[in-house]
């Protein structure tokens, strides 16, 4: 790995932004590693969560926002619950993910597609339509046989409806998305 | 960090020797920068703070008065701060009668080890007083009222 | 009595599909326990995990719309069976205590939300308002002889200052309720470990790994079935058990119940109303073992009595 | 009045952000100020000489020094005044360092503020008057509260110095935590071999009166003359008769009593001698477990006791001891780790505390020094130590470092290898704190010679699996999550203040910090003094300390008492309240409010009046702000003095406002 020039390569705006959006104080982290110790996803992360914390502390925007870990955090709250400094680590991970998304990263492409498919299903129908969601996901990823085996159990048991569940106020829900997107782009 | 870089206002602090005065010292030792408006009067115990001192300060032109003592249960004289609290609570209720904004008077607890907290208290209070601005000049009728009050209630 | 236990009910999307048996059994059990559920009119999706990975106000707004729909109902609070929905509703409500956040959230909504109703899980209501003692009195068909590992999932109790229910490291609400039914609870150490959550689709390997560990641990401590309170956990452990077995080269055949199904059984409710048939791993095995153990115990006590 | 003002530079400490020359210049213009100048270091010898010369040359009546906090140098300058022949109370300080130069950078604002503070001090001084101290006899006996190693050391030093010592210990034996330890770092010598002789010395010293199983009930009086009420708790055994033969213990059928000494590893009998080397070596009955005391059955111990020492009807007894000084050495207690649900919250028998482990290691412990794990009595092969349990953890309100756990963990790892050569120890740590003589070398030895594996990271959870415990932590140096299957987990629990510490503080009128540790008078320069005259601190009641530090403080506190007692008489503080008998109407309000009962009712020519008993008055001034007549005035903090300060600050409108 390249040498990091700590004084010049520190992006203070990045630190401030993370602190502001997450309402957490990054300087509280003393790198005990408890978050990593408890994180069930560490095995799959490219950066353990305590190192994500550390990289934010030293203002390494690029390295943080382009890591895979952000997209694999399941918000299981283990880190938040056990951090000895009461840092809401899961919230920081969430905020970093927002920033990563806004910066156009999607290091775990399939995860992102799944989430996007989920939300567009909500946007369209007001409630998630699981079948539709799967269809979108399969088309977008090209993985046509995802969980086909499960369908064999789900469909006959009435657990996967072919039609979306109707609700009256679905327009209200799509309006939420509309307003959100407008505010975002403004 | 002089408050608002604007003009200084007149803030009087009555601090007990054992806890809050020590806390203010600790803040000093820790170099916790604070607005400069406050002037501190040292008293042995917050129980020594006669509500009249507060009243007199406010009537005679103080823009804010801050009293600070030991935490409950932690008084060097075991219960002085309880007396103080009771009296100052009464005082607080009477201030509006005199046309004094109750926000100009505050009572807090800061221990000798809480330098950081003292800084925050001073910052918050000073900021609050600057938001209120300079105290209105007090006229003779008000003083007459204060005299009656002082003689009866406090 | 029924009016004092009246709640605005938020079923959650998966209750209409993959966790339909949870939905059915929750409804049936609540009814039997005198808890009145008034479905929130025209509720919508809370946004689940995907929403809060995009933005916190968007997530809060999707949840808050439902809280708004519940305002004006004469109820003691909003309840939901699903921990994921619960987290979203509670987090939204928690963050909206902050004025600025509330204003930002309300700006996304058609009608602003006051955010006054308390939010709880169905589990919390059964545990706190009915309680193990009362539940025990109502049992007509004890499930004595059944050995279960209780699995709460990662977000039912965490983070503790938001969820504000039970112990965040060793929750016991389900344990106590199951014990009231006569069930033996094995000391399951991974009660709050994550099962892999919604990564079943996009990163199956993760679920195979994490849920696999849970099944192994349950087997290690001698459980013959597991009981859950979360549609996602249940789906990962039950529906994907076959996938897990082939990925990890194991051969678990561990029935995965919803706690409401078991309460329903013990209360003598109709099996069809509890959706037992909809489980993927056949639960019959667990019941057969239970019956066998019951018979054994009976025999033993007969022997002991005649021996005296 | 002729007042001299001295404005201190304190090097650049003050002069850096306050224009001290200007402050002195402006001060000269104040009424009653006859002289003003700035001085480099007011407290230094030349600084003080300058003050003395000015007083003598200009015939000053009073002095104001504008410098640091009066909590630092007020006594210094009062003595300076005295040397110049002035009354020591004709002095005021303006705190322009801690309250001005150190907390603000704006030189102009600071200078203005400093001048205000000087003007206030001058105004106060004009209202002041000379106060004369009274002399009183002191009682040269000392009370030591707490019989841990710190208290023992203090008691022995005082007694050797010729003082009468009263040692009060809560439990039935002295020795404290140290008596439970197996070996001690950094030399790994046997704890009871070095503590035992000291305990025996206490028992045998002619100057020491030991009250074990006793607690301080009430403290009245003041430095030099305290009255201490001590409760001797019922032990149900006549200690004058008991010879410590132990026959009763052998026969007692109630064998499931809580074994506090062994940290509940195992149980003991209802009647017991705390441990074989206990001082005093006397039996006592645990009323929670004695069948006789609970159900009025049994009575066996009374039958077997050869000296008829058993007294089932014994009651608590209160004795009063007059003393002149008090040393507090009540030590610490251990953090209750069951607060950590992720470490099992007490559910897993093979997760034990460090102190329990000491008992397992100890040859005189419940297992005879064989390490057997609680669940099945097997000898563990893999042992995991977790550091900082209940320390450096804000989320549970324990942000401080307990100081000694890094060291004792290394010690325990070393002893583990000594006891079980084929065992392997792992230590999870966040940082290693070993700043003492031979300390870091000791830690290194644990790693280098004893092969202890140190893992840098916290442990997030542990859980049982097939008879062992899976410990899941992080190795932050590797950037990996790690797991160890351990046979035994030892938690390096941190120190917290002793149970009841705050209650005792209130009796002693000393202050304590947010965590219940007692506050010293100055963190660097008065580490064993408190702000209450005559009360001193020793050992870990002031904050976590290891044995060398505790012993050092025990000796230091003893030295302070000996200094205090080196005079035959003390001077009373004249800053007490005084009643103006003409103004007093005898309403009695002051008597009701005085927290110390220092005010008495007297008859003055047939009229009821109040009178302050000087030696009891602590100078809080509560009475002064209570008296409706302004008749009772706290000297040096009179209404007039404080109002003079207020007037300097607030004189904006009507000059003569209301009074
Ligand atoms: C597991 C472990 C291992 C350790 N190993 C070492 C080591 O190897 N080397 C080392 O230097 N340090 C070690 N220490 C630290 C050592 O225990 C302390 O430094 C030492 O015990 C402090 O002595 P103390 O007298 O201040 O307090 P304590 O030993 O706590 O003694 C206080 C005494 O006061 C009594 N008391 C409390 N309250 C009252 C009251 N209100 N009235 C009357 N009496 C009261 C208590 O009963 C007790 O007897 C270890 C600590 C632990 C936890
Ligand atoms: C850069 C630095 C910063 C520090 N900051 C802090 C701090 O912020 N807080 C803190 O608590 N500690 C601090 N310390 C530590 C502090 O300096 C020591 O704790 C303290 O000075 C020790 O005091 P002492 O009296 O034991 O020794 P010293 O200060 O060394 O005094 C010993 C004296 O003895 C004299 N002497 C030596 N040999 C002889 C002889 N043969 N005959 C006669 N006289 C002799 C020496 O000239 C000297 O005057 C700091 C240390 C350093 C190096
Ligand atoms: S647990 Fe908290 S303090 Fe420790 S490394 Fe993680 S974020 Fe930092
Ligand atoms: S919330 Fe994310 S980072 Fe934290 S422990 Fe869970 S998966 Fe890991
Ligand atoms: S008197 Fe105080 S301010 Fe002046 S030199 Fe001494 S320590 Fe510094
Ligand atoms: S009480 Fe009696 S039997 Fe027991 S130790 Fe004392 S003398 Fe011996
Ligand atoms: S009377 Fe009590 S202490 Fe004595 S032998 Fe019986 S149980 Fe033990
Ligand atoms: S001494 Fe070591 S183990 Fe103890 S609290 Fe401090 S750092 Fe942690
Ligand atoms: S309160 Fe004042 S007037 Fe009343 S008795 Fe005391 S001194 Fe006298
Ligand atoms: S100043 Fe007054 S109230 Fe305080 S101790 Fe003295 S007499 Fe009592």
Note the pLDDT of residue D489.
Answer: 98
What's the confidence (pLDDT) of residue D571?
87
Judged by CB atoms closer than 8 Å, whether chains meet at A86 and D479 is answered as: no
Mean pLDDT of D18-43: 96
Go through A68-100 and write b for each residue having 16 or more CB atoms within 10 A of its CB, e for each that does not. Answer: ebbbbbbbbbbbbbbbbbbbbbbbbbbbbbbbb
Q: Is the pLDDT of residue C296 over 90?
A: no
Q: Is the pLDDT of residue B5 over 50?
A: no
Nearest-by-CA chain D residue for A35: D460
Q: Which of D157, D178, D493, D491 is nearest to D331 (CA)?
A: D178
**Residue B119 located in a structural domain:** yes
The residues, ordered by sequence, that sit 6+ positions from D450 with a Cβ below 8 Å of its Cβ are D413, D414, D417, D425
Question: Mean pLDDT for chain B?
Answer: 85
Looking at per-residue pLDDT, the higher value among B19 and D36 belongs to D36
Neighbouring chains to D with at least 3 Cβ pairs closer than 8 Å: A, B, C
When pLDDT is averaged across residues D347-355 and rounded to a whole number, the result is 97
Instruction: Name every residue whose Cβ is closer than 8 Å to that of residue C218 and which is 6 or more positions away in sequence.
Output: C149, C151, C186, C188, C226, C254
Closest residue by Cα to residue C106 from C63, C164, C77:
C63
As a whole number, mean pLDDT of residues C57-84 equals 95
In which domain, by residue range, is B93 found?
A: 11-153
pLDDT of B21-67, one tens digit each? 999 999 999 999 999 999 999 999 989 999 999 998 998 889 999 99
Asked if the structure places residue B132 within a domain, the reply is yes
B6 is a domain residue: no
pLDDT over 80 (residue D114): yes
The domain total for chain B is 1
Residue B150's pLDDT band (cuts 50, 70, 90): low
Phi/psi class of residue B65: alpha, beta or left (left: φ > 0; alpha: ψ in -120 to 50)? Answer: beta
Paired strand residues for D393: D398
pLDDT recorded at residue B4: 43
For residues B55 and B154, give the distance between their C-alpha atoms in angstroms, rounded to a whole number: 11
Stated as kind and residue range, the H or E segment containing D474 is: strand D468-475
Partner-chain residue, chosen from D394, D396, D459, that has the shortest CB–CB distance to A37: D459
β-sheet with B38-43: strand ranges across: B38-43, B11-16, B64-69, B105-109
Which helix (H) or strand (E) covers residue D112, if one does? helix D107-126
User: DSSP assignment, residue D435?
Assistant: -
Q: What pLDDT does A134 receive?
A: 87
pLDDT digits (tens, 9 = 90+) for D573-623: 899 999 999 999 999 999 999 888 889 999 999 999 999 998 888 899 999
Task: Give the pLDDT confidence score for residue C306 in this predicted structure.
Answer: 66
The neighbour count for residue D347, using CB atoms within 10 Å, is 14
Q: Average pLDDT for residues C97-101, to the nearest whole number?
A: 93
Task: Collect all residues with Cβ–Cβ distance below 8 Å to D323 and sequence separation of at least 6.
Answer: D139, D141, D142, D143, D166, D226, D228
pLDDT tens digits, B41-54? 999 998 999 999 99
pLDDT at position C256 is: 97
pLDDT at D653 over 60: no
Structural domains of chain C in order of their starting residue, each with its CATH number: 5-122 (1.20.1050.140), 134-298 (3.40.50.11810)
CATH code for the domain of B29: 3.40.50
Confidence (pLDDT) at C3:
54
Task: Say which residues have a Cβ less than 8 Å from residue A156's Cβ, sequence separation at least 6.
Answer: none
Whether the predicted pLDDT of B1 surpasses 50: no
Domains of chain D: 3-131 (3.40.50), 141-231+317-331+501-564 (3.50.50.60), 247-304 (no CATH), 335-496 (3.50.50.60), 577-635 (3.30.70.20)
Enumerate the H helices of C71-203 as residue ranges: 83-95, 99-108, 122-125, 131-138, 160-163, 173-180
Alpha carbon of D525 to ligand 2 centroid (Å):
14
User: Is the peptide bond between D157 and the residue preceding it cis, with omega within 30 degrees of 0?
Assistant: no
pLDDT in tens, A81-118: 999 999 999 999 999 999 999 999 989 999 999 999 99
Residue B46 resides in a domain: yes
Cβ neighbours of residue C237 closer than 8 Å, sequence gap 6 or more: C151, C195, C211, C214, C215, C226, C228, C254, C256
In a domain, B147, yes or no: yes
CA distance C84 to C75: 22
**pLDDT tier for residue C1 given thresholds of 50, 70 and 90:** very low
pLDDT at D654 over 50: no
Confidence at residue B154, expressed as pLDDT on a 0 to 100 scale = 56
What is the nearest CA distance from B27 to chain D, expressed in angstroms? 7
What are the strands of the beta sheet with C119-121, ordered from one edge? C36-39, C6-9, C78-80, C119-121
Confidence class of residue B111 from pLDDT cuts 50, 70 and 90? confident
Alpha-carbon distances, residue C63 vs A53, A176, C93 (angstroms): 29, 11, 9
Task: Give domain status of residue B129, yes or no.
Answer: yes
Q: Give me the percent of chain C exceeding a pLDDT of 70.
A: 98
User: To the nearest whole angstrom, how far is the Cα of A106 from the nearest Cα of chain C?
Assistant: 12
pLDDT per residue rounded down to tens, chain A (186 residues): 578 888 889 999 999 999 999 999 999 999 999 999 999 999 999 999 999 999 999 999 999 999 999 999 999 999 999 999 999 999 999 999 999 999 999 899 999 999 999 999 999 999 988 888 888 888 888 887 778 888 888 888 888 887 888 788 889 999 999 999 998 887
Residue B4 domain flag? no
Ligand 8 lined by D492 (C-beta under 6 Å): yes
**Is residue C102 a contact partner of residue C115, using CB atoms and an 8 Å limit?**
yes
Residue D656: its pLDDT value, please? Answer: 38
For residue C223, the chain D residues in CB contact (below 8 A) are none
Domains and CATH numbers, chain A: 12-102 (1.10.1060.10), 109-185 (no CATH)
Ligand 9 binding pocket (C-beta < 6 A) is D 579, 584-590, 610, 626-627, 629, 631-632
How remote is the CA of residue D308 from the centroid of ligand 6, in Å? 8
pLDDT in tens, D587-598: 999 999 988 888
C-alpha D481: how far from chain center: 41
Of C18, C202, C206, the CB nearest to A114: C202
The token pair at A84 is 């000895």
- Separation of alpha carbons C234 and D456, rounded Å: 36
**Chain D residue whose CA is closest to C190:** D463
C-alpha distances out from residue D302 to D172, D271, D314, D316, Å: 20, 11, 13, 19
Written in H, E and C, the secondary structure of D127-175 is: CCCCCCCCEEECCCEEEEECCCHHHHHHHHHHHHCCCEEEEECCCCCCC
Taking only the tens place, the pLDDT of each residue in D134-172 is 899 999 999 999 999 999 999 999 999 999 999 999 999
Please tell me the residue having the least CA distance from ligand 5 atom 2: D68
Position B6 scores a pLDDT of: 56
Residue B2 has pLDDT above 70, yes or no: no
Residue B153 has pLDDT above 70, yes or no: no
The pLDDT score that the predictor gives to residue B74 is 67
Residue predicted with more confidence, D447 or D514: D447
Half-sphere exposure of residue D187: CA atoms within 13 angstroms, side-chain side? 8
My answer on whether omega of the bond before A183 falls inside 30° of 0, hence cis, is no
Question: pLDDT band at D317, cuts 50/70/90?
Answer: very high
Report the nearest atom of ligand 5 relative to the CA of D77.
1
pLDDT band for D25, please (50, 70, 90 cuts): very high
Q: What angle do CA D189, D191, D193 make, to 5 degrees?
A: 85
pTM of the model: 0.85
Whether B3 is covered by a domain: the verdict is no
Q: Is the pLDDT of residue B141 over 90?
A: no
Could you report the per-residue pLDDT of D96-113, keeping only the tens digit for each? 999 999 999 999 999 999
- Hey, are the CB atoms on A172 and C240 less than 8 Å from each other? no
Interchain touch B–A (≥3 Cβ pairs closer than 8 Å): no
Between positions 91 and 120 of B, the ones with CB within 8 A of D are 111-113, 119
Ligand nearest to the CA of D309: 6
- Per residue in C150-199, pLDDT tens? 999 999 999 999 999 999 999 999 999 999 999 999 999 999 999 998 89
At residue D658, the pLDDT reads 39
Instruction: Kindly report the average pLDDT of chain D as a whole number.
Output: 95
How much is the pLDDT for B80? 74
Residues D202, D167: contact at Cβ < 8 Å? yes
Examine the pLDDT at D638 and tell me if it is beyond 50: yes
CB D184 within 8 A of CB D408: no
Nearest CA to ligand 4 atom 8: A39
């Amino acid at each position: 790995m390249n040498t990091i020039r700590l004084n010049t390569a520190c992006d203070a705006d990045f630190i401030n932004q993370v602190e502001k959006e997450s309402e957490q104080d990054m300087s509280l982290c003393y790198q005990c590693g408890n978050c990593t110790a408890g994180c069930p996803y560490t095995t799959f992360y490219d950066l353990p969560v305590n190192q994500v914390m550390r990289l934010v502390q030293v203002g390494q925007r690029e390295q943080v926002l382009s890591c895979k870990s952000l997209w694999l955090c399941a918000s299981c709250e283990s880190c938040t619950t056990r951090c000895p400094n009461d840092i809401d680590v899961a919230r920081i991970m969430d905020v970093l993910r927002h920033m990563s998304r806004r910066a156009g990263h999607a290091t775990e492409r399939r995860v992102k597609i799944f989430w996007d498919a989920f939300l567009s299903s909500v946007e369209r129908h007001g409630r998630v339509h699981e079948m539709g969601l799967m269809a979108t996901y399969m088309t977008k990823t090209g993985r046509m046989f995802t969980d086909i085996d499960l369908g064999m159990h789900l469909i006959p048991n009435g657990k996967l409806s072919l039609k979306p569940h109707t609700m009256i106020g679905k327009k209200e829900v799509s309006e939420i998305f509309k307003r959100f997107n407008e505010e975002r782009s403004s | 960090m002089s408050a608002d870089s604007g003009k200084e206002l007149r803030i009087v602090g009555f601090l007990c020797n054992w806890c809050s005065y020590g806390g203010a010292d600790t803040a000093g030792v820790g170099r916790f920068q604070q607005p400069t408006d406050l002037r501190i009067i040292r008293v042995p115990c917050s129980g020594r703070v006669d509500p009249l001192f507060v009243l007199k300060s406010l009537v005679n032109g103080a823009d804010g008065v801050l009293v600070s003592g030991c935490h409950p249960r932690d008084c060097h004289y075991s219960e002085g701060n309880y007396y103080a609290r009771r009296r100052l609570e009464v005082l607080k209720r009477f201030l509006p009668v005199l046309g004094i904004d109750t926000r100009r008077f505050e009572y807090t607890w800061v221990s000798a080890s809480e330098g950081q907290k003292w800084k925050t208290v001073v910052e918050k209070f000073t900021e609050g007083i600057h938001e209120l601005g300079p105290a209105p000049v007090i006229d003779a009728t008000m003083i007459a009222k204060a005299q009656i009050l002082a003689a009866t209630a406090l | 009595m029924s009016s004092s236990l009246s709640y605005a009910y938020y079923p959650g999307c998966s209750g209409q599909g993959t966790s339909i048996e949870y939905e059915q059994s929750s409804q049936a059990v609540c009814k039997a326990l005198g808890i009145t559920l008034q479905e929130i009119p025209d509720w919508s999706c809370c946004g689940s995990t995907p929403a809060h990975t995009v933005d916190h106000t968007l997530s809060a707004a999707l949840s808050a719309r439902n809280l708004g729909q519940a305002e004006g109902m004469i109820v003691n609070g909003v309840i939901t069976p699903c921990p994921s929905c619960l987290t979203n509703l509670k987090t939204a409500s928690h963050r909206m205590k902050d004025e600025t956040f509330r204003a930002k959230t309300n700006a996304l909504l058609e009608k602003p939300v006051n955010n006054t109703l308390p939010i709880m899980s169905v589990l919390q209501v059964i545990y706190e308002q009915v309680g193990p003692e009362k539940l025990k009195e109502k049992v007509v068909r004890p499930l004595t002889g059944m050995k279960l590992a209780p699995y709460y999932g990662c977000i039912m109790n965490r983070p503790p200052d938001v969820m504000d229910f039970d112990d965040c490291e060793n929750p016991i609400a389900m344990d106590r309720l199951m014990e009231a039914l006569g069930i033996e609870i094995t000391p399951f150490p991974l009660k709050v470990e994550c099962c892999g959550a919604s990564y079943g689709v996009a990163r199956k390997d993760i679920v195979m790994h994490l849920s696999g560990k849970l099944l192994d641990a349950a087997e290690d401590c001698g459980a013959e079935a597991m009981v859950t309170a979360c549609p996602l956990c249940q789906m990962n452990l039950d529906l994907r058990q076959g996938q897990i077995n082939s990925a990890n080269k194991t051969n678990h055949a561990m029935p995965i119940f919803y706690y409401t199904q078991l309460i329903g059984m013990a209360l003598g409710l109709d099996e069809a109303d509890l959706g037992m048939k909809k489980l993927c791993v056949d639960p019959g095995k667990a019941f057969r073992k239970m019956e066998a153990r019951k018979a054994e115990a009976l025999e033993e006590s007969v022997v002991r009595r005649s021996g005296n | 009045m002729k007042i001299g003002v001295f404005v201190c530079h304190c090097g650049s400490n003050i002069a850096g952000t306050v224009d001290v020359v200007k402050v002195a210049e402006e001060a000269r213009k104040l009424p009653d100020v006859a002289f003003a100048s700035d001085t480099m270091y007011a407290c230094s010898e030349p600084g003080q000489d300058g003050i003395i010369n000015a007083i003598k040359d200009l015939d000053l009546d009073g002095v104001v020094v504008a410098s640091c906090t009066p909590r630092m140098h007020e006594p210094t300058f009062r003595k300076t005044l005295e040397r110049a022949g002035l009354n020591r109370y004709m002095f005021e300080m303006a705190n322009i360092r801690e309250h001005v130069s150190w907390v603000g950078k704006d030189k102009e604002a600071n200078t203005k503020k400093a001048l205000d503070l000087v003007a206030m001090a001058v105004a106060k001084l004009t209202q002041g008057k000379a106060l004369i101290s009274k002399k009183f006899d002191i009682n040269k006996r000392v009370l030591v509260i707490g019989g841990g190693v710190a208290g023992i050391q203090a008691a022995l030093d005082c007694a050797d110095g010729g003082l009468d010592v009263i040692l009060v210990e809560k439990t039935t034996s002295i020795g404290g935590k140290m008596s439970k330890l197996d070996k001690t770092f950094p030399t790994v010598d046997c704890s009871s071999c070095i503590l035992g002789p000291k305990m025996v010395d206490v028992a045998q010293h002619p100057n020491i009166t030991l009250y074990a199983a006793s607690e301080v009930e009430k403290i009245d009086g003041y430095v030099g003359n305290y009255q201490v009420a001590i409760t001797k708790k019922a032990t149900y055994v006549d200690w004058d008769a008991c010879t410590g033969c132990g026959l009763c213990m052998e026969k007692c059928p109630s064998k499931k009593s809580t074994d506090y000494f062994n940290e509940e590893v195992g149980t003991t009998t209802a009647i017991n001698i705390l441990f074989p080397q206990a001082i005093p070596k006397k039996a006592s009955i645990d009323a929670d477990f004695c069948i006789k005391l609970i159900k009025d059955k049994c009575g066996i111990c009374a039958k077997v006791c050869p000296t008829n020492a058993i007294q089932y009807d014994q009651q608590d007894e209160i004795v009063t001891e007059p003393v002149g000084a008090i040393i507090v050495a009540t030590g610490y207690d251990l953090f209750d780790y069951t607060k950590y649900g992720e470490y099992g919250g007490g559910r897993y028998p093979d997760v034990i505390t460090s102190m329990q482990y000491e008992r397992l290691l100890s040859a005189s412990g419940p297992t005879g020094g064989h390490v057997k794990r609680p669940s099945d009595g097997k000898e563990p092969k893999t042992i995991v130590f977790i550091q900082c349990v209940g320390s450096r953890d804000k989320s549970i309100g324990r942000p401080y470092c307990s100081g000694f756990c890094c060291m004792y963990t290394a010690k325990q790892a070393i002893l583990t290898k000594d006891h079980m050569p084929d065992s392997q120890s792992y230590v999870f740590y966040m940082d290693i704190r070993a700043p003492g003589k031979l300390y870091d070398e000791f830690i290194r030895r644990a790693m280098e010679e004893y092969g202890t594996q140190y893992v840098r990271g916290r442990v997030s959870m542990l859980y049982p699996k097939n008879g062992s415990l899976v410990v899941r932590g992080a190795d932050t140096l590797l950037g990996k999550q790690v797991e160890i299957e351990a046979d035994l987990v030892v938690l390096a629990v941190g120190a917290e203040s002793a149970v009841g510490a705050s209650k005792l503080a209130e009796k002693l009128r000393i202050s304590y910090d947010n965590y219940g540790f007692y506050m010293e008078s100055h963190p660097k320069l008065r580490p064993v003094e408190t702000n209450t005259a005559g009360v001193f601190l020793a050992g870990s009641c002031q904050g976590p300390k290891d044995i060398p530090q505790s012993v050092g403080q025990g000796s230091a506190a003893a030295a302070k008492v000996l200094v205090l007692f080196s005079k035959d008489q003390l001077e009373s503080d004249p800053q007490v309240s005084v009643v103006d008998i003409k103004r007093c109407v005898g309403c009695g309000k002051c008597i009701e409010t005085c927290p110390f009962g220092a005010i008495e009712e007297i008859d003055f020519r047939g009229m009821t009046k109040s009178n302050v008993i000087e030696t009891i008055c602590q100078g809080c001034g509560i009475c002064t702000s209570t008296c409706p007549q302004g008749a009772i005035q706290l000297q040096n903090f009179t209404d007039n003095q404080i109002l003079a300060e207020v007037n300097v600050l607030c004189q904006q409108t009507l000059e003569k406002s209301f009074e």
